[in-house]
Amino acid sequence: MNNQELLTNVEAKAQIWLDGNYDEETKKAIKNLMAKDDKADLIDAFYTDLEFGTGGLRGIMGVGTNRMNKYTVGAATQGLANYLKKNFTNCAEIKVVIGHDCRNNSRFFTETVANIFSANGIKAYVFDDLRPTPEISFAIRELNCQSGVIITASHNPKEYNGYKAYWDDGGQIIAPHDTNIIDEVNKIKSVDEIKFDGNPALIEVLGEDMDNLFINKVKSISLAPEIIKKHKDLKIIYTPIHGTGVRIVPMALRKLGFENIINIPEQDVVSGDFPTVVSPNPEEPAAMEMATKKAVEVDADIVIASDPDADRLGVAVKNDKGKFILLNGNQTAVLLTWYLIKKWKETGKITGNEFIVKTIVTSEILKEIAIKNGVKSYDVYTGFKWIAGIIRELEGKQKYICGGEESYGFLPGDYVRDKDAVGSIAMFAEIAAWAKDNNMTLFELMQDIYLEYGFSKEKMKYIVRKGQQGQQEIKAIMEKLRHDPPAIIGGSKLVLVKDYVSLKATDKTNNKTTDLIMPVTSDALQFFTEDGSKISVRPSGTEPKIKFYFEVKEPFKNKADWDATNEKADSKIDQMLTDLGA
């Protein structure tokens, strides 16, 4: 399609909105786009449709078929409502919970969603104000709802918003419901099919009562209340980065018994513009800079942050030189998993029927900790919905301890079925108190774990390839690695390849293959080397990128060798990239 054909198609789609039953404000915005000499914004708004995928919707806010707005959100909700009514025919009353984060338009979208559900005869519970994503998951279970929606774009830039759908277990929707809902959403061909006029009798507001139930459940996972009491004055720096954790996280910490919670007033300001950061992402040092600076000023014990919808956490600890450093998502998950299993074991709760879950790209140390302590470990695809799926599958058969992913998400209990920064932050503060009670820092504890279970360093690298040609280049890279991987990666022999398209694992030492037991296929590859290192490769599902996840193993026998060991690991990762042709 040439540029003129594209523009013609875009203008035709825009005209449908101008002629259709859309509000005057929307029509005015479209006319302004059409009046511009430069048609780039018009094209971007209408050249494609914002798709309701397996994770819901996520996109830039604005008018048009390729934007988050009342009508794209409306079509998604109408399709979900239609599916719920088909799927729960024997249910006396279909119920949903709706929540939102701090982003611009999040409240408006929430009220729109509630109106549409209620107009379709579905009971809608709506929180009175912004709430963390894990609390919405909790409320779905607590109120015995059939579904739920959270309006959030997680840590995306401020121009974005999103829409995540949940099922009756409080987990994000997976097969077969994911594709079935997508089919229902795609059937909505006209704005006139969307029921916008709500039924107030079917809308109920949730407030502090649900907060208290949630916070009490968070408190119930505490494993060392006596240690918290002893170290109640632990200096905890906490920042919500302008998001939904601003009230709930300090409440949870105080409920556990911590009294010395130091905030960052500028970042307690709830705002979808995220005025103090470029990106509200606790993975990035810049987003944590104000908190770590404050930690130096007050000589804090720990720095903790949550992202805007409070489902992911970031942590900074003092290293052996007294400098605050950020932990990566794997290190955070290792500390949490180690502590939870240790305390479960001490209290006699490990019977051999317990399990943890991690994603395939998350550190293998989690599995090592579990197995060495008599706990099962399950691998799932990237995305916390798969962790929730395993919890649901094994409910009543095995006992879940915890689950985590390298992208800063963790769940220390099954009261929620999505990653939970509130519970994870509370548990991490408890670990800090435990470490202090044992005369060590969190950094020293992490080193001790590596000394016992082996050192690994994790990094994620990506290559951007834009446009149609870029898609072909990414495809070619994957095909080359799939059919002709290097025999030596990072100076170590390749011994095992896992291909999640064919769902086969190939032992390169004898060319024998075994089946990989996964619910669906995925365009992902994993390479395991003789020295225990792991490289995972997959194209991004939402961006023009191919992602490389490295977990590098190096001998580590003495804490004094920490810096040298890290430098060797970094060099090995550079060599691996070269060996993989990236």
Edge-to-edge strand list for the sheet holding 354-359: 376-380, 354-359, 399-405, 409-411
Check 154, 222, 306, 456 and give the catalytic one.
154
Short-list 340, 326, 317, 356, CA closest to 430:
340
* Distance between CA atoms of residues 171 and 159, nearest Å: 26
Q: Per the structure block, which two tokens stand in for 87?
A: 């799927």
| Residue whose tokens read 């009543």 | 396
- Nearest residue to 247 (alpha-carbon basis) of 183, 306, 321: 306
How far apart CA 307 and CA 382 sit, in angstroms, is: 19
* CA–CA–CA angle 539, 545, 550 (5° rounding): 70
> Are 204 and 102 a contacting pair, CB within 8 Å?
no
Nearest CA to 68 among 100, 32, 31?
A: 100
Q: Is the link from the previous residue into 176 a cis peptide, with omega within 30 of 0?
A: yes
Q: Do 301 and 432 contact (CB within 8 A), yes or no?
A: yes
Amino acid at 238: Y
Distance CA 340, CA 401 (A): 7
Structure-block tokens of residue 397:
């058969």
With CA atoms as reference, report the closest residue to 122 among 198, 21, 67, 186.
Answer: 198
Q: Tokens 């277990």 correspond to what residue?
A: 169
From residue 226, alpha-carbon distances to 28, 165, 231, 516 in Å are: 62, 39, 9, 44
> In the annotation, is 154 catalytic?
yes
3-state secondary structure of 439: coil
Length of the chain: 582
Q: Write the CA distances from 559 to 21, 59, 320, 434, integer angstroms.
A: 68, 46, 9, 20
Residues carrying an active site annotation: 154
